[in-house]
Every structure is written in C-alpha cells, then in structure tokens.
Amino acid sequence: MRERRTNVLILGSGAREHALARACAKSAFIGNLFVGPGNPGCATVAHIVPLSLAEHAKVIAFCRGEAIGLVVIGPEAPLVSGLADDLIRAGILCCGPTRDAARLEGSKGYAKDFCREFGIPTGDFRRFRDPKEAKAYIRKGGAPIVVKADGLAAGKGVIVARTIEEAEVAVDTFLPNAWGCSRAGIVVEEFLEGEEVSFFALCDGVTAMPFSSAQDHKRAGEGDKGPNTGGMGAYSPPTVMTPKLSQRIMVEIVAPTLRGMSERGSPFRGLLFAGLMVDECGPKVIEFNVRFGDPEAEVILARLEDDLLPLLIACANGTLQKDPPNFSSDAALAVVMAARGYPDQPLRGSRIGAIEDAESVPGVVVLHGSTREVDGAIFADGGRILTITAQGGNVADARERAYAAIDRIKWPEGFFRRDIGWRAIGHNNKKR
C-alpha cells in the first residue's frame, strides 16, 4: 500500500525555517513542500512562495490552492496575531497554538501570572506600568535584577541589570515604548542564578512528550557580554540535562502548563519551549516561547533520528503518543554569523562567499537566515545571516568542525562568537 503523502507549508524566513524544511524534506510522508517567504537556503529543499505572514487571507488562499495538509508556523508574531486561529477556522491543519495560547509568549506578565496561579516554579516578580513605582521597587530590592518588556521583542526586550542605575535606565527604555503596545507594561523579576536550559516539549492539547533540549547564547559578545540578541549560537544536549531532570521538568512545568491552558479554555497545541534556570533546587521558568527556538531548533533537529512530519501532524490533530522520539547521542553545535551592527543597526547588502566550501567540512550544514540571492550570489539582508551547524561525538568535536567551516567563509562584514559551547566544554574539562 502506498504511503499517504502530505503537502506542507512552513511559514517563516530564518535559519529555523531552513532547518525545519530540511527535516520535513527527509520525511517518508512528505508531498509538496513549500516555505513562505523562505530564503535561498530553503529554496534548496522546498518551493519558495512570496507570502506575507501578516496577510492571513492570502496564506489561507494559497493553502486551499495547493491542497496543503499541514501548516507549520515558525516565528512567534503570527501566532500571537492569531494566524493559527484563522487557519483552523478555514479547516486547515496547523502546528502552532491559537492566539490565546500564544499569550504565554506574547505577554511576559501573562506568563508570570500563569506560573503563579498554577504553581509552576519561577522567580519572584512584580508587574508595573508606572515608572516611579517600578523604580521604587527596584531600589528596595536592589541589584542584580531583571527588567523585561511585556510584549514581543525578538529576544531583545530583557535587561539583566547589575546595578540599580542600569535597572532604572531599563525602566525608562521599556515603559514609554512598551514595544508598540500602549497597554503593555514591564515585569521586574528576581535575578536567578544557575545554568540556563531551553527545554522543548511536543503538545497536542492533552498529551505532551519531551523533545530534547539545548543551551542558547543570547549575548552578542564573547564571555556572555554585550546586548541581548535573538541568539548567537546553541548546542545540544546541555551537559546539565539528565533523564531525571527531564522527567522533573515534564512533571513540574510542562504538565501543569498543559493543564492550566486547558482550564483557561486555550488548549496548547504545538511546540512548547520553556526557558529555564536550573540550580541545586531544580528548574525555574524564566520565560515561555510557543514555537521552535532559533538557534535551538537548528541543533535539536540535527540530532533528531525519527521522522519529524508525523510528530508535527500529531500535535496539530490531537493524536500525539507518549513515547518520545529518538535523538542521536552525538552533540550538535550551531554558531550564528551576524551582520556588523547587529542587534541595533545591522549592515545590509554585503556579499558572502565560499559557503559551499564551508559545507565540505564533515558533519557541517550552513543554514540561511536573513540572506538574499542575486544572480547566484548570496548577500546579507538583515541581522542574523547564517547559522553554521555541526555534529560531533561531543560538544568539543562539534565546535571544532563548526569553526573550521566558519574560517572558510569569506565575509569580512560579518561577526560571530568564538566561545559557543564554553559551559559544556568547561564541565567536561572539570571531570577529567
């Protein structure tokens, strides 16, 4: 009997979507694969379509015209704006939460209130709209302390203030703008110490299963210095993650999140991403995301040994099983190459050479982010441009391959961190 094949549309244009497209293209069940708006890397494994994620009606019309059996929404903004709701109303299967469920990421304040209501471990916090009240609270509590813009900020709306003065500047920066939403405020929360982990779980509204983990590197500079970015690199699996810790996260964080969203009438379907701080007392939620992380998806999908597509379909139609998928015991590490000026004013238009040469390094894949192609040449067209992903027997091996590949790329206008994976390598060195 011939296998039933599914036409799939992946929405987004970054390295995460390139990684998703590569994984779906390998599926035994894939029919026609589309990515919109995509990028030149996605074009090597899928059909590129010029779709705007803000134009829901046009996305729906495309899905009907191409008999799309599953839509996978990559970035957070269209989820928060209700694209999944509109697709579902149109009878189109979608892997991604509804607008109400996406509030877990869309509002930092909502997520913190949710954790408090459902007993999910997280740091102490207060919400503010008045800058004077926020500053008084900060002076009373002291530093270090964390100040977050309440709405979406592409990973850049967080200030870890080491001094009271830094925290007050963050209040003045975030509150007047509120990231485009006049009703939004800020969250001022306890500074948590420990080791950060990005933990992923597949969810179908009722059932959840662990889907590996990674450790991200948010700061622009080496030694975790400089401004927060959307992510400058990641590796998987994190050294701190053990089967016991994974089980504890599922019981203490993922299960009550699923239960709480159902009780609120917003069952969560899709990929739940819990950003955690882990210390000797266990895991605490720093934030929730409601989609695949970037660059975490790049390293996790590199290690996935099972077929991704049936898992995404099961999340969307409520048929997820409890047995988790299989991942390689190898490590994967990704390094982001960004345009000079990122995350503030990235330089656009510079030409990038020798990408194919970089991919000749064993175990390496170069994933495209904000690139464009002109007459066969690749140019930078945004902030995070390429994600060089490598696999190896351990993190050190993967890192050596990733940087060997980067050293072959000809792009003087780009920059990257040389210390991705430093925590894992430090842990391993201590054990020797």
Q: Would you list the domain boundaries of the chain?
A: 7-95, 124-190, 194-317, 331-431
Q: Which of 90, 54, 46, 89 is nearest to 73 (CA)?
A: 54
Instruction: Please say if the pLDDT value at position 427 is more than 80.
Output: no
Distance from C-alpha of 98 to C-alpha of 195, rounded to nearest angstrom = 31
What is the dotted CATH code of the domain comprising 7-95?
A: 3.40.50.20
Asked if residues 34 and 72 have their Cβ atoms less than 8 Å apart, the reply is: no
Give Cα 181 to chain centroid, integer Å. 22
pLDDT of residue 431: 61
Instruction: Please say if the pLDDT value at position 145 is more than 70.
Output: yes
Q: Is 418 exposed, middle or buried (0-12, 13-18, 19+ CB in 10 A)?
A: exposed
Range of lowest pLDDT (14-18, 110-114, 254-258, 320-324): 320-324
Q: Quick check: helix, strand or coil at residue 201?
A: strand
Instruction: Please say if the pLDDT value at position 177 is more than 60.
Output: no
6: CB partners within 8 A, 6+ apart: 29, 30, 31, 69, 70, 309, 313
What is the dotted CATH code of the domain comprising 124-190?
A: 3.30.1490.20
Instruction: Please say if the pLDDT value at position 176 is more than 50.
Output: yes
Q: Which of 362, 195, 346 is nearest to 280 (CA)?
A: 195
Q: Is 194-317 in the same CATH topology as 7-95? A: no
Superfamily of domain 194-317: ATP-grasp fold, B domain (3.30.470.20)
**Longest pairwise C-alpha distance within the chain:** 69
Give the other-Cβ count within 10 Å of 310's Cβ.
Answer: 17
Instruction: Please say if the pLDDT value at position 139 is more than 80.
Output: yes
Q: Quick check: helix, strand or coil at residue 397?
A: helix
What the block records as the tokens of 398 is 């993967």
Distance from C-alpha of 231 to C-alpha of 156, rounded to nearest angstrom = 10
Q: Which of 309, 307, 292 is nearest to 96 (CA)?
A: 292
pLDDT of residue 187: 94
What is the dotted CATH code of the domain comprising 331-431?
A: 3.90.600.10
Question: Does the CA dihedral 96-101-105-111 come out positive or negative?
Answer: negative
Report CA dihedral (364, 370, 374, 375) to the nearest 10 degrees: 20
Average pLDDT over residues 242-269: 97
Tallying the residues shown for the chain, one arrives at: 432
Could you identify the residue written with the tokens 């299967």? Answer: 93
pLDDT tens per residue, range 306-360: 999 999 999 999 999 878 999 999 999 999 999 999 999 999 999 999 999 999 9
pLDDT tens per residue, range 36-78: 999 999 999 999 999 999 999 999 999 999 999 999 999 999 9
- Band of residue 182 on the pLDDT scale cut at 50, 70, 90: very low
User: Whole-model pTM above 0.85?
Assistant: yes
